Amino acid sequence: MKVGILSFQGSFLDHSKSVELIGLTPIFIKNESQIDDLDALIFPGGESTAMRKINNYNGLFNQLDNLIKSGIPTLSTCAGTILLASEVIGGNPTIPNIDIQITRNAYGRQTESFEGSVSFYSNEDIYCFIRAPKITGLLSDNVEVISKHNSEIVGVQQDNIVALTFHPELNNDGYYLDWLHNFIKEGKNVRSF
């Protein structure tokens, strides 16, 4: 199975290691020639404004939007979640596919990045928040909260999309890798685990 990872900039190499660890094939997406026959998509953390600027040269986001809407399992982390949010405080919607309001750089600058305890479905572990955004509103009853840090929502699922504000690909703990494998294998009929 082939997992397309948006590779304009950011943590795409870390996500590729996760994909390899679960025995699947990462495909680095930099232009439209790399989006054929994908089984899943990952939008990594990084800098959402830089990703938008790079996209201005190749218009790839329109094709990725079509893939998401076709039902392909889609994971976003940090800046990737900003790209997919319907409403962005401190920015503009880019590929709105998940009904959340998100606030960019909500925890502060790079120096305020931290590790914290996160509940992710039925697991509790320590994950990294790097200049992380915050999910500050759920805009639809179709959005399910799947992850929290203290009382804050840090992960949601809507249909075939899981959007996180933290970086599980930096830990690659067993629970996350098992979940990722199952999430991708579910295909177009993604469900909660």
Residues identified as active-site: 78, 167, 169
Q: Strand, coil or helix: what is 6?
A: strand
187 to 2, 68, 77, 182, 183: CA distances (angstroms): 12, 12, 19, 9, 8
With beta carbons less than 8 A apart as the criterion, state whether 164 and 143 touch.
no
| CA-based nearest residue to 11, from 175, 185, 131, 96 | 131
Please, where are the H alpha helices in the chain?
Answer: 12-21, 48-58, 60-69, 79-84, 174-185
Closest CA to 155 of 95, 100, 73: 100
* Distance (Å, whole) CA 108 – CA 91: 15
Residue 176, number of CB atoms within 10 A of its CB: 21
Cα separation of the two ends of the chain? 20
